[in-house]
Amino acid sequence: MNGLLVLIPVALTLGLIGLAAFFWSLRRGQFDDLDGAALRIFVEEEEEAEEQGHGGAAGG
């Protein structure tokens, strides 16, 4: 019974910290552009391929 008196406030505190972190990330714009982060990796590969293509043509 004494364990519950310690564990319940600890669980509530951790839950409030997680909720505060969620709202903080929401205000910072972490969830504004969900698709852009997933597609950004493809854009970098295309730019590198174009740079290698131009570099190879000029050097050869």
Taking only the tens place, the pLDDT of each residue in 32-50 is 888 887 888 787 666 667 7
Q: Domain range holding 29? A: 3-55
60 in a structural domain: no
Per-position b or e across 7-28, b if 16+ CB within 10 A of its CB: eeeeeeeeeeeeeeeeeeeeee
Rounded alpha-carbon distances, angstroms, from residue 48 to 35, 41, 45, 54, 55 = 21, 11, 5, 10, 10
10 in a structural domain: yes
The whole-model pTM stands at 0.55
The structural domain count of the chain equals 1
Of 38, 36, 20, residue with least CA distance to 28: 20
The answer to whether residue 5 scores a pLDDT higher than 90 is yes
Q: What is the Cα–Cα distance from 10 to 2, expressed in whole angstroms?
A: 13
